[in-house]
Each structure stands twice: as C-alpha cells, then as structure tokens.
Amino acid sequence: MASSRHMCTFMAGASTSVASVASAVVVSRSSARPHASFAITLAVAGAMTSTSASSASETCCTGAAASSHIPTATGSRVSARKVVAPTKRVAFSVITTFTRIPRRMHSRASSHALYAAMQPVTPRTTVGAVRFSLMRRIIALQALAASAAGKNPPQTLRGGRMQHAAFGTSAEVRIRLGGPAGFGIKAAGQTLARSFVRAGLSTFDLTEYPSLIKGGHNTYHLRVSPDELFSHVEPTDVLVALDRATVDLHLAELTDGAALVYDPATVDVSDLAPEGLCLVAVPFDDIVKEAGGAKIMRNVAALGAVLGHMDFPIEHLAESLRAQFAHKEPQVAEQNVAVATGGWEHARRNACEFPHTLAPIEGAPKRILVDGNEAVGLGALAAGIGFYAAYPMTPASSLLHFMATRAEKAGVIVKHPEDEIAAMNMVVGAAFGGTRAMCATSGGGFSLMVEALGLAGASESAVVVGLFTRPGPATGLPTWTEQSDLRFAIHAAQGEFPRVVLAPGDRADAFELTWRAFNLADVLQTPVILLGDTYLSDNRQSVTPFDTASVQVERGELQVEGDVEGYLRYKVTESGISPRVLPGVEGAQQIVNSYEHDERGWGSLGEDASTRAAQNEKRMRKLELARTIVPPARRYGPQEAEVSVICFGTTKQPVREAMRKLAAEGLAVNMLQVVTVWPFPADEVAAFLRGAKRTVCIEGNLTGQLQGLVREQCLMDVDESLRRFDGRPFSPEQVEMKLRGVAGRA
C-alpha cells in the first residue's frame, strides 16, 4: 500500500522522489510486467488540488467522485479522459503513462525514469481494499469520460469484479485458458472447441499470444452457444489458469458465478475472496499420473474439468481426442481420454452451482471449425489452384502449411522459396504458363513483393496475392491484428495499373472471395489482392460447410489450343482485355517483360509516346469492367435505422454482434460492409449514406483510411468514427457503446 500511495503522490505532483517506488513498481508500455496490476492506476484523479503527499495519496487511493477536469498542484486543468489509459485488462494489467501527465515543475524525474527495470509486486502483496478502490477508481474515470462524451460506460462494478454487457443468453458460455507460451494452450482450446462443434453447438475463438516461443502470456478464449456467433466477447465464465499470472490478468473479466479452474500445486489463490467466484481446484498432475499419461497431458485434464464443472457430457471430448490422435498408437488416444475423464469426474464431485446451462443439440446441422487461412485455402483448392508459393510470415504462415499438407492429393505445386521476392516472381511465372497461382504474406513480406507486383501489373498477369495484415510499421506486432494496410494494398508499386482488392469479413467470405479472386484475375488479367488480418487468419469459427457446388471457374480470354496466327498479346481493345493464349500454342509469339511495350510485347517500341499512352489507357479501362463484375457491398440490418455503420474486413463481425443485441433492445442499426475496397464502390456507399440518419465509420487503424476513401471517392463524409489501433480487435461491447452514443441512447 505504501508504494502504491507513494507512486500516486509522485504522479500527482506532490512528491519528487521515485527511489522508494522504483524497487516495487513497474510502469511500462509493455505488458511484460503483468504483476504491476494495481500499483499505479490513477495518478492525478481526484476532486481537489494536491498540495501535500497525504492529500494526493488520499485522492488516488479512494473511490471519491471525480470531476471532468481535475486541478493539480501546478494549477493545470486535466481532462480525466487523458490522464491515464487503462489497458484492456483494466485494474489487472499494467497501466500506460506518458509525460503528458502533469506534475510539479521541480520534480526531479520525468516519466521516462519510470521505465527503468524494477522489481514487480504481485497482487497478493497489495492490500485488498486498495486493490478494489483502484478498480472502482478506474470505473469512475471510465464513467466520467463516457458521460463527457455522451456515452455509456462499457462495464459496471459489482462484487469487486467487472460486470460486462451481456451478449447471448444464459445458455452461452465463455471459456478462457491462460498460461505461458509452450504449454499447448491453443491446441488444447481447439480440441475443446471441436468437441462442442461435435455436440451441435456454435463456437468462436480468439487466440492472443506474444511473439515468443517460450514464456510470456498466452490465452485462448472460446465462446460457445446454441445460436450462431459472429465474434468474440469480453467476459469470461470459466477461467482455466495454468499459472498465477492468468489469474491476475483476467480476474476482472469474470462474471458473477464464474469458475476458476486451477491446480493448487502450481497456482496459489489463497488471497482471493470466494464471494461470487467458484474456485475449482483440480490436481492436474495427479490425474495424469493416475492415468499413466505424460505430463504434457495436464491440459487435457483441465479440459475434462471444464466440462465436468459445466455438467456437460464427456463423450464429445473423448471423440475429439480419439480423432486427434488417430495417427498414433491407440493407447495414446485412450490415455488422453482417461486423463480427460479423470478431470471431468473430479470437477463434478467438487463443482459449485454454475449459472449457465449448455447442452448438446441432437440432430443439429453439420458445422465445420475453420480459421480464415483454412477458408482461403479451401477456396483456392475449389478454384483449381495449381501453384502456391510463400515465405512464412505471421499471420499468413499457416496457409503455407495448409497447402503443403494437401499438395500431393490436390495436385498443387507448393514452394517455400528463399524470400517473398522469389515467391511473388514465381507466382508471376506460373501465371504466365496458364496456371492459377497465388502467394500470401503479411505487410513486411508484401513490402518485398511490391516490385514483382508491379511486374504482374505491367505484364497483365493473372495472380492472386493474400495480404493478411498485422500492426506495422517494420516488424510491428507480429502476432496481433490491425487494418492499417488498406491504402498500401490499393497503391502498392510504382506507376499506375489496375488491381482488385477484396476484403473478406469472416470465414464464409474468405472462402467465397478467394475462388472469386481467381476468376477476377483471369477475366481481368491483373493482380487481385485478398486483404485480411490476424483476426481473420488465426481465429476459428464454426460455420456451415462451404458450398463447393456453387463455385464456378471462369478463365476469361484464355485460349489453350488452336491456331492463333497474328496473335497480339497486348492488343488494344475497348474493354482493356487482350487475347491470352498459353505458351506453345501454334502461331502465338510470347513476349512478356517488365518494360512498357507495344501490342506484340516489344519493349523497344514501348518508348513511343503514343504507344505508352495507348497501353496505359488500355490497362486502366479494365477498372470499368471490374466495377460491373466484382462482389458488391453487403448490407445487414433493417432498411430504416437510427444508426448506419460503414466498415470493411473483419470489423463486420463485432458490428454484427452489437447490432443483434441492440436490435433486441429496440435500437435499429444497419451496416454496409465494403467487400471490394478497390475499385471503390462509390455509388453504393453514397446511396447508403444518403439514406442514413446518423452514420459512423468503424475501422482498425489510426488515420481513418476507409473514411478517407469515402471522402475522396464519394465527396461525402460520415458523422462519426470509431477506430482501434492497439493491435487488438474491436469487441462488440466497444461497438455497442459507440452506437448507443451516436443514437443518443447512452
């Protein structure tokens, strides 16, 4: 408590010493020090001027009401919304501070001094009263900021934990597994998800992990419901903690009646108040030993315990385990089943009352569990892909693995070249030979591909490029998500040439838009970019099996045989589409290079001014044809609505989830998902905006790239915007809060 109060006084400007705090508290922009959970949350919050250490300490460490502008000892006025930025984990995570926090001018230390390496404190060393008062203080600031902005706060506090806006019903369960990297958390979570899908239920998962092989903090969040799910949500009903850090970081997300599943031999929770929380102690290691299994099976014991506490049958998990280990010796699968059963039985014997009811659905329609990269891969295979090349880069890497495991059976050549430059050039070469070809990467790899992308544009090659984005610039955040490469995809490579950019919003979109991308590339003879992100690529959703019967293959102006005497590869046509034949067809002289060229492909003649103009205009006329055949924008919700949303890509998912909840409460919201972001559907967007009462653009980047396209292409603007750019996806709770504010129903 002393160190917490001292830090508060320092940040409020009433103390000039940080030495006594430096040994106990960490303040950092990184989440690498999660145990600094409660130490310094509200630096300058309070309703009075700080004139002494005692008054500042009292202000920071109590739940007194705060005004929207808070005077400090310096006489400065500070907006409560700009004081401290609580991170996603609220009181149970590190709080970011910056030099903008006001302090006395004579303070000897700047905020940068706080970034020095310090010994962390754990929440167990923090007095409970201070911990909960700090949490309440955060909520007070959130409510204050929301009130000033005309919005509702996303959570309220009851019983010392955050209570989140309810999405779904009591039949829905949200499960989170957490622990260090290397514990097999994602694999275990996906096994659990498959068991629920086998039981006829819908699932949606969210995996969060740092760019580490070992250590750090990984989580797998699984949402399960009898109803269709569009996205993840914030609350957790069952928390499986494989280490104490998981408890500290996620305790605030637990709902009333939630369960904490842990092994008492490795996780000490003796300091936790059991009120409103069910502590389910399960000896994972002992259960594994009794079953004669390996230590790595402890996660399977945890999965069984989760189902046991929920009073959910074990049979579906047993089936999933047998299917998962079918390629190994039979005893491996049976040992895993025995371990899962042991955890299930132990939890049933020691279970508390669980407020959620979830049961298998007999005769439910078949569903498959896929992530975005798998959906893209299935779409490519359905389209008849013949060549795939890629250099691994998160989050696109798993698509390379997916294609490689199916290459021989599907008759696809899959290459792992030395870098992304080679991958893109290989794809251009394969397309020249008439093969449907694709590569995929993330922003950094796409940067290397850009010159070869220009080659594809100049040579009018039918290539498909997957650009699955993560936060940049440079290495950025390799394992997190963002939508900040929209403009990059539209304008990449020097000069001007046509391209199509498609942005799938979910796994069904990813399958459909991929096979359509191959058709567009062939018909238009130009690059087509699939613009996804980590939220799409890495996370799995249960969906209806994809309709492969609806897939149509269109090769455009491609002639595979016959006499084509007088063939002109780059013939100037009204549509911009020139004849195209395969190498080796009689009478077809193939001249393809990176130079500007005449109709035959001769680069030496392309320097003529009239030839340059004719070829340039010919290529760009393809965009007019593209506008008539690309997938249109998709509209969701009622025709008449109080609030209208425009978005692209995976933002669609949390928006749809928020729309469903608001519709049940009588607030009508509709949405326009821009599927083809280039060529931009200006007419569709303009018509949508003209028919709207209040409009908001929601996108995952800092600069508002989609909103900028609306202004540029439609000469119109939206009323408000919501942007997120911290590497995390939007949650439906955030979207709901914004939409309420726009509608004036905060």
248-252, 537-541, 564-568, 659-663, range with the lowest pLDDT: 564-568
- One-character DSSP codes across 252-292: GGEEEEEEEEE-TTT---TTS--TTEEEEE--HHHHHHHTT
pLDDT band at residue 607 under the 50/70/90 scheme:
confident
Domain of residue 702 covers 634-743
- Is the pLDDT confidence value at 564 over 60? yes
* Integer Cα distance of 145 and 140 in angstroms: 9
Q: Which of 228, 235, 88, 206 is nearest to 535 (CA)?
A: 206
| Same domain flag for 206 and 341 | yes
Q: Is residue 355 part of a domain?
A: no
Instruction: Output the pLDDT for position 43.
Output: 34
pLDDT digits (tens, 9 = 90+) for 443-452: 999 999 999 9
Q: Is residue 566 part of a domain?
A: yes
| Same domain flag for 388 and 424 | yes
| Same domain flag for 595 and 659 | no
Q: Tell whether pTM > 0.85.
A: no
| Same domain flag for 8 and 140 | yes
- Is the pLDDT confidence value at 4 over 80? no
Q: Is residue 155 part of a domain?
A: no
| Same domain flag for 313 and 328 | yes
> What average pLDDT score do residues 377-382 get?
99
Angle between helices 705-714 and 682-690 (to 10 degrees): 90
The two three-digit tokens of residue 669, written as one number:
């919201």
| Same domain flag for 124 and 73 | yes
Q: Is residue 265 part of a domain?
A: yes
| Same domain flag for 259 and 277 | yes
CATH (domain of 387): 3.40.50.970
pLDDT digits (tens, 9 = 90+) for 646-665: 999 999 999 999 999 999 99
The domain boundary, picked from 596, 628, 660, lies at 628
> What average pLDDT score do residues 122-136 get?
36
Phi, psi of 716 (to 5 degrees): -140, 170
The domain boundary, picked from 586, 609, 628, lies at 628
Number of structural domains found in the chain? 5
CATH (domain of 709): 3.40.50.920
Q: Is residue 323 part of a domain?
A: yes
CATH (domain of 257): 3.40.920.10
pLDDT digits (tens, 9 = 90+) for 101-121: 333 233 222 222 222 333 333
| Same domain flag for 340 and 380 | no
Instruction: Output the pLDDT for position 610.
Output: 95
| Same domain flag for 206 and 326 | yes
Q: Is residue 158 part of a domain?
A: no
Instruction: Output the pLDDT for position 169.
Output: 57
Which residues, including other chains, have CB under 8 Å from residue 261's CB and lie 6 or more apart?
238, 239, 240, 241, 280, 282, 302, 305, 306, 309, 347
pLDDT digits (tens, 9 = 90+) for 273-300: 768 899 999 999 999 999 998 888 999 9
| Same domain flag for 35 and 138 | yes
| Same domain flag for 543 and 464 | yes
Q: Is residue 358 part of a domain?
A: no
pLDDT digits (tens, 9 = 90+) for 221-253: 999 999 999 999 999 999 999 999 999 999 999
Task: Give, for 175, the enclosing helix (H) or strand (E).
Answer: strand 173-181
- Pick 377 or 295 by higher pLDDT: 377
pLDDT band at residue 167 under the 50/70/90 scheme:
low
Q: Is residue 52 part of a domain?
A: yes
Q: Does residue 446 sit in helix, strand or coil?
A: helix
| Same domain flag for 494 and 375 | yes
The domain boundary, picked from 628, 648, 675, lies at 628
